[in-house]
Structure 1
C-alpha cells in the first residue's frame, strides 16, 4: 500500500501510485461545461455577404381567387355560386394561368370539414399549389 505499511522500520520512500481522483473531477467539470456550452456554438452561420447593385425583380402580382363555403356547404367562386362540376372547370382554367392565382379559402365555422377537404382536394388534383385560409382576427377586449 502506498499510504502506509505494517513495517515501521522501513524508510518512507516516494509514493509510486498516481492519484487520479482530482484529474477525473476536473474532466467531469470540463465535460459539464462543454455540454452546457455546445448549444451556443450551433447558432446561425455569420457571413459577410458581398455587396451588389441590382434592381429588384419585378413580378406580376398573382391574381387572387376567393373560394367561400357557407354553413350549408354551398361553394362560391368570387361571390358567384358554383357547383362541383363548375368548380372543377374553373380550377383547371386557373391552374393554366401564369402565374397561378392564390386561392383564398373562406369557410363558415359551421361548415363540415368534409366539404373543405373536398375543395382542397379538387384544387390540388387540378394542379393549383397556392392555397390560403382566411380567418377573422380575434377581437381584443
Structure 2
C-alpha cells in the first residue's frame, strides 16, 4: 500500500511560518520618526491593520496608504484620504506617529482634522521607557 510522505510538507510549512514571522514586523515600516516615551498600557489587539499618519521632525505628514508611503502630503489631502477610508470601514483604528521634536499644536491640529474626517478616536504611538 502506497502512503504519502508528509514530512517534506511539514518542513515547507515550518519554513513558511518562520518567513512570515520575520517579515510581519517589517510590514509596519514607514517614515522614520523619533517617538516620545511614555509609560502607558498597550492598546488591545485589533483585527484590522491601523491607518498610520506619521509626522516627522520637520512637520511633514505621511500616510501608510497606497504605494506612496514616503511622499509628504498636505493636511487637506490626508483629511480627504482618511475620510474615504473611514466611510468604507468606520471601525478602522487611526494612529499618529509624532516625532518628539514636532510642536504640540501641529499634532493637535492633525488629530482634530482626523476626527473631522470621521475617525471616532485617534491614538498616539509612543515608545515604552527604557
Range of TM-score over shorter length? 0.5 to 0.7
Aligned partner (choices 91, 110, 122) of residue 101 of structure 2: 110
- Matching residue of 2:115: 124
CA displacement at 1:99 relative to structure 2: 4.2
| Greater Rg over alpha carbons, structure | 1
TM-score by length of 2: 0.56
- Secondary structure, counterpart of 2:111 in structure 1: helix
CA displacement at 1:95 relative to structure 2: 1.6
Distance 1:133 1:77 in 2: 14
For 1:60-102, what per-residue CA distance to the aligned partner results, in whole angstroms no more than 9, with x for missing partners? 9233111110111101101432112211111211220224321
Structure 1: unaligned runs, 5 residues or longer = 1-59
Deviation >3 Å, runs of 4+: none
Distance 2:90 2:116 in 1: 18
Structure 2: unaligned runs, 5 residues or longer = 1-45
CA displacement at 1:125 relative to structure 2: 1.0
Larger RCO (CA within 8 A; separation ≥ 6)? 2
What's the Cα RMSD here?
Answer: 1.7
